[in-house]
Structure 1
Amino acid sequence: MRHLALLVLGLVTLPAMALTNVDLYRSEIVLDQTAEKADDQARVEGMKEVIVRASGDRNAVTNEVVRKALRQNTQYLAQISYGQVGGEQTLKMGFSAPHIRSLLSQAQLPVWPAARANLLVWLVEEKADRNIVWEHSDSQVLSLLKSQATVRGLPLTMPVGDFDDITGVAVSDLWGGFIQPVGEASQRYPVDAVLVVKAQGNSVRWTLYDQKPATIGITRQAPLSGSNNGADAATKMIDQISDYYAKKNAVVIANESSEAIKVRFTELDDAVGFFTLENNLKKLSSVASLDILKIQGNEVTFNVHLLSSPEEFKQEVLRVGPIAQLESVVDQPALPQPEAVSPEDAALDVNQEVDGVANDVANNDELTEIATEPTAPVIESEMILVYEWQGQPYVAPVAEQEEAIEVDASGDIVEESAPDVIEAAEQ
């Protein structure tokens, strides 16, 4: 019983883990009823939102690999349905987490893990007077904060505004930057950081204490601060704070898990043909990236990382230029050759083996099995697609040279070859 009491006491005294798991792969987009293909447009926007949220990188949608994937957005979708927001029809989408993570990996973009820091937001608005904005307050700034935080996947907690909150911290403490009472009033919330925001018209000033509330005002950790202006000031603030946490916690995952095939091209007789082929392959919507595995003579072998199925790649590759498909080959790595052994060493090894077996028989009542042959290593083979490059060899242009003009002692032309030069000479 005493041990149980100690266990319960330990659980009570342990700090609560405040990291919040964010649903990264769902989005809901309002359909543009005036658009010709409203659903197609909404799927693209929804996938963009998911990619930015999962990567933490606002510029991720401009990545060339991502731009290709956006044109094939249906293969990343796991769920789709219709909804309503504010009387407008929406498209609700759920994207496949493994497929999105694989895409980010192929594009060499970071992945911001779903377990993210939870921020307690103390928001003070100055209108006729200054007031603290609570969780259920009617505030446009609060609405913008929550909306953009959802887009970026930044967990926010607003104070509920009950008796403890009202008596624990004053407007003057928040506006004046008195951090001791702010830290004490924030300790009742299981959060990882505290954000103090002062909104005045179209301007916001903010201070982020990226530490547990219990340590605010005690440690010497410097806060982050900034200011934004304009109608989207609150949105910009959330973007800046999201960028900070994404840079702090996001990681780039190697693209070992992406589907890839080996492709060999023959008859590449010059560098121009090689670079033309490489650039054309990179432009294919089914290709994420290329790795050059081997160049031998006029042949080059690529490891092609795919965004779609191998069948789609096979259909596309024939359209990149003058290419003919040949019979595929099996890549069978060479078996390691045994080391040469001299007759003297072989006889010595046999004698040692016989002596060892004799000792085993002498020391054991039964000898069940003696391995006489080593186990052959298993060498995996791999299929290689083979194509023949049929482009014309590159021919460097030859500069035209004008022949010399011979002139006699009187200045008359002896040999005519370049009319324009001759005309100039006659003048």
Structure 2
Amino acid sequence: MKRIFALILACFSLHSFAEEVSGLYTGLVPVADQSAESRDFAVTQALSQVLIKLTGNSKIMQSTRVQPFLTNPNAFVAGIGFRNLSSVDGDDQTGLEVSFDPQALDQLIRQAQLPVLPSNRPRLLVWIVRDDALQGRGFVGQDFSDAALQSFDRAMKTRGMPYLIPNFDLQDQLSLSVNEAWSLRADLIGPASDRYNTDGWIALRFYTTSNAEVRGAWLYQSSGRRQLNDFRAEPGEEFMTEAVGSLVDSLASSYTYMPQLDTSALQVKINGVANFKDYQAVLSQFKKLELVDSVQLFGVQGDQLTLAIDAEAGAELLHSALVRSGRLQSQTAPGSMLSGRLEFDWISK
């Protein structure tokens, strides 16, 4: 029954488009200087950044499963280089950019049995509301130079999560007021977000108390799930990093899968493959998914392809990932999913 319900929820997102995120195996860490000590410390920090991005879990480095594999972080390094960074106060700062070997990290994740957040990730619409003691309540996002928006952007990029800010045009103003967004009115935020054709939405509100403590809350809806939580930060702390960290941890749990040492074979039928160009595009779509180990052509009948898929996750997660690609419309019957058989219509572009 749970599998059938998961399928029904996934079908509501047939026309939303996830985003292929790049740079997941690269970390960027500020350093005090270019000494060997600073470099070694930064490599460890960059590896932590990357593993958090890949697993969708900000506490993954505390896991006893991963600790035995981290005795020599340099063994995973594929490339390294210093670069200039712009700090929050505008001063130049040195950073170390570290690229890690994807194959080596994928092997680490599999052996340690860590969760995987695929690179095909949900793109969410984000409504941010600030309550200022002097200026009152207002949406954040109309001016990218806003420090709060820049902080949010950095935090989301660090986690490898795509997002979209509303236009704040007349249609948005008529659909959702500042006070309605501040009240986290899901019944109004959802309809106001529909025009953006994203995979869900986030509403985040915050204010600063008289003693300079920042308090706030976030609410999101994605993948048929709605979650609410609050946050606070002491004076001087980077509150947005904490807020985004807890938000993405919760959000990612709906999209991660646990890689299996033994893959499971699934049968996937694709309708509407009219020519060789479509055929190549279909194969390319499957090969982009981390949870797919191999794709084999099982049969062709008219414009229908039948593929044999070796996947590290079950039929539900493969189905969800294919729907989020925006190129496949599900025609899968609930009973077929339970037996590992999926069916889609190809959306040609």
Q: TM-score category by the smaller chain?
A: 0.5 to 0.7
User: Aligned match of 1:225 in 210, 224, 228?
Assistant: 228
Q: Percent identity?
A: 20
CA contact (8 A) 2:78 2:99 kept: yes
Matches within 5 A, 1:45-194: 45-63=45-63, 66-86=66-86, 87-127=92-132, 128=134, 129-134=136-141, 136-194=143-201
Q: CA deviation at 1:232?
A: 4.2
1:245 match: 251
Q: Hey, what's the Cα distance between the residues in 2 that align with 1:135 and 1:20?
A: 23
Partner letter of residue 247 of structure 1?
S
Matches within 5 A, 1:380-399: none
Partner letter of residue 19 of structure 1?
A
Structure 2 gap ranges (5+): 1-12, 87-91, 209-213, 264-349
User: Aligned match of 2:221 in 201, 206, 209?
Assistant: 209
The verdict on how the C-alpha distance between 1:162 and 1:94 changes in structure 2, with shifts beyond 3 A counting, is farther
Q: CA deviation at 1:66?
A: 3.6
Matches within 5 A, 1:320-335: none
Partner letter of residue 54 of structure 2?
A
Q: CA deviation at 1:197?
A: 1.5
| Pair member with larger Rg | 1
1:17 match: 16
The verdict on how the C-alpha distance between 1:223 and 1:134 changes in structure 2, with shifts beyond 3 A counting, is same
Q: Hey, what's the Cα distance between the residues in 1 that align with 2:70 and 2:146?
A: 35
CA contact (8 A) 1:101 1:111 kept: no
CA contact (8 A) 1:76 1:99 kept: yes
CA contact (8 A) 1:136 1:160 kept: no
Matches within 5 A, 1:371-382: none
CA contact (8 A) 2:20 2:121 kept: yes
Cα distance per residue 1:128-165 (max 9 Å; x no partner) = 21111125344333233222222222222212334443
Q: CA deviation at 1:56?
A: 1.9
The verdict on how the C-alpha distance between 1:138 and 1:131 changes in structure 2, with shifts beyond 3 A counting, is farther
CA contact (8 A) 1:61 1:67 kept: yes
Partner letter of residue 203 of structure 1?
R
Q: Which deviates the most, 171-180 or 20-29?
A: 171-180
CA contact (8 A) 1:173 1:179 kept: no
Cα distance per residue 1:45-92 (max 9 Å; x no partner) = 111110111112333223456444434223322232221111111111
CA contact (8 A) 1:47 1:70 kept: no
With CA pairs under 8 Å and 6+ residues apart, which has the higher RCO, 1 or 2?
2
The verdict on how the C-alpha distance between 1:222 and 1:96 changes in structure 2, with shifts beyond 3 A counting, is closer
1:31 match: 31
So what's the TM-score if we normalise by structure 1? Answer: 0.50
CA contact (8 A) 1:228 1:234 kept: no
CA contact (8 A) 2:218 2:247 kept: no
Q: Hey, what's the Cα distance between the residues in 2 that align with 1:180 and 1:65?
A: 41
Cα distance per residue 1:94-113 (max 9 Å; x no partner) = 21222111101111211121
The verdict on how the C-alpha distance between 1:136 and 1:25 changes in structure 2, with shifts beyond 3 A counting, is farther
Q: CA deviation at 1:116?
A: 1.6
The verdict on how the C-alpha distance between 1:228 and 1:73 changes in structure 2, with shifts beyond 3 A counting, is same
Q: CA deviation at 1:176?
A: 3.4
So what's the TM-score if we normalise by structure 2? Answer: 0.60
Structure having the higher strand fraction is 2
The verdict on how the C-alpha distance between 1:15 and 1:105 changes in structure 2, with shifts beyond 3 A counting, is closer
Structure 1 gap ranges (5+): 1-13, 212-220, 258-427
**What secondary structure, in the 3-state scheme, does the structure 2 residue paired with 1:110 have?**
coil
Q: Which deviates the most, 141-150 or 95-104?
A: 141-150
Cα distance per residue 1:194-241 (max 9 Å; x no partner) = 111221111112221225xxxxxxxxx773211111144433332222
CA contact (8 A) 1:204 1:234 kept: no
Cα distance per residue 1:349-402 (max 9 Å; x no partner) = xxxxxxxxxxxxxxxxxxxxxxxxxxxxxxxxxxxxxxxxxxxxxxxxxxxxxx
Aligned residue pairs, count: 235
Q: CA deviation at 1:254?
A: 3.1
The verdict on how the C-alpha distance between 1:223 and 1:57 changes in structure 2, with shifts beyond 3 A counting, is closer
The verdict on how the C-alpha distance between 1:57 and 1:184 changes in structure 2, with shifts beyond 3 A counting, is closer
